[in-house]
């Protein structure tokens, strides 16, 4: 199978030849950046750099997908919050949002935000990726979930404190963020994204109670996934065992969890017919650990019942070359066995 065919069939829960190596988070590597002869912050400033860094990374390490964009600021920038690109830096620095709204009543969403800031640059990067890799790799995209997106444009304390004191206004604001997420995700699908991950990362139960999750988070995620075409992924960081069943009710084609989730327990709750992706900590595994330890970490994810081994967050660009190679090799080695939701040919 081609990488793209492998991922397409995985999402359909049809038998595949082996587990694909891909993610719903950033997968760009410094090795690809250096091969291009540029500095890391520059990848956020050019459609060609963005597309080529994703493609070259996949080619270098044998990934099955390319995924863009990399930074969380493209949409907040387009909403008028500005962006700090650090494009003169020699370090691995992601863009940040310099200005947040200070009050809920200040929030205004431009109707044409998809045409503002670097959004047209991201559009062009999708077109370049489609043209240059000629259908070999699956093309992935991601959008922050409404609550996490809110944290990029307004201080979350305002939301959390306002849930009791100013509930209607908080819910109206999250409705606005939900509409932004839907428009952006639908836009990426129209540009040719083969799958879309919605990353409401900051809503795990180490931050929000299950009751608050059901009240504030779930209704908006249900609305989002109902508005999108398949395949889609519902990704949440942190502790998620207490909400895994509610995550599954949101309507995504797959659930993505990080290392704080107990996948064995999650499997018991949602069953073997649900696609679960996870669940290793990318920075400690691929940057800090000895390469000899990587196989054990990745194999454990497979043994615990992952249908695809995903990092809980972006692969840090400075991941060691040998560790990335071990990560891919381990999935290829042990991923030939069926996973709970997907058989093998």
Q: How far is CA 204 from the centre of its chain?
A: 15
What is the reported pLDDT for 133? 85
Confidence at 158, pLDDT banded by 50, 70, 90: confident
58 CA to centre of own chain? 16
**Does position 162 have pLDDT exceeding 90, yes or no?**
no
Q: Give residue 207's pLDDT band: very low, low, confident or very high (50, 70, 90).
A: confident
Confidence (pLDDT) at 215: 92
DSSP E strand boundaries for the chain: 65-68, 138-144, 195-199, 232-235, 254-256, 275-280, 308-311
Residues 65-122: tens digit of each pLDDT: 999 999 999 999 999 999 999 999 999 999 999 999 988 888 899 999 999 999 999 9
**Span 18-328: which CATH code?**
3.20.20.210
**pLDDT attached to residue 127:** 97
Q: How many helices (H) and strands (E) does the chain have?
A: 15, 7
Domain residue ranges of the chain, discontinuous segments joined by +: 18-328
pLDDT digits (tens, 9 = 90+) for 301-315: 999 999 999 999 999
Residue 54 has pLDDT above 80, yes or no: yes
CB 117 within 8 A of CB 82: no
Per DSSP bridges, beta strands 195-199 and 138-144 are parallel
Task: Classify residue 165 as exposed, middle or buried by CB count within 10 Å of its CB (0-12, 13-18, 19+).
Answer: exposed
The pLDDT confidence band at residue 192, using thresholds 50, 70 and 90, is: very high
More confident residue, 107 or 257: 257
């Amino acid at each position: 199978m081609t990488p793209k065919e492998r991922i397409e069939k995985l999402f359909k829960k049809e038998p595949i030849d082996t587990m694909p190596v891909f993610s719903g988070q950033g997968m760009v590597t410094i090795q690809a950046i250096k091969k291009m002869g540029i500095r890391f912050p520059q990848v956020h400033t050019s459609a060609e750099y963005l597309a080529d860094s994703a493609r070259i990374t996949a080619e270098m390490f044998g990934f099955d997908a390319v995924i863009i964009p990399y930074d969380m600021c493209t949409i907040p920038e387009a909403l008028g919050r500005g962006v700090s690109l650090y494009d003169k830096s020699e370090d691995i620095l992601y863009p940040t949002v310099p200005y947040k709204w200070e009050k809920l009543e200040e929030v205004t969403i431009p109707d044409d935000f998809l045409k503002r800031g670097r959004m047209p640059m991201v559009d062009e990067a999708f077109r370049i990726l489609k043209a240059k890799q000629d259908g070999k790799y699956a093309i992935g995209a991601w959008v922050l979930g409404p609550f996490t997106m809110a944290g990029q444009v307004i201080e979350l304390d305002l939301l959390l404190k306002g849930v009791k004191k100013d509930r209607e206004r908080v819910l109206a604001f999250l409705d606005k963020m939900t509409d932004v997420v839907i428009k952006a995700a639908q836009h990426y699908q129209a540009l040719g994204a083969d799958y879309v991950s919605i990353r409401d990362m900051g809503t795990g139960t180490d931050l929000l109670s299950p009751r608050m999750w059901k009240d504030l988070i779930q209704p908006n995620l249900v609305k989002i996934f109902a508005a999108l075409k398949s395949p889609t992924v519902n990704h949440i960081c942190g502790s998620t065992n207490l909400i895994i069943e509610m995550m599954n009710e949101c309507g995504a084609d797959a659930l993505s969890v990080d290392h704080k989730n107990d996948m064995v327990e999650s499997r018991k709750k949602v069953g073997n017919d649900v696609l679960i992706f996870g669940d290793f900590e990318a920075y400690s595994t691929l940057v800090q650990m000895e390469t000899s330890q990587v196989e054990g970490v990745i194999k454990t994810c497979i043994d615990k019942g992952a249908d695809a081994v995903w990092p809980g967050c972006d692969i840090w660009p400075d991941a060691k070359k040998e560790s990335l190679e071990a990560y891919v090799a381990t999935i290829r080695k042990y991923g030939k066995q069926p996973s709970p939701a997907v058989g093998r040919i």
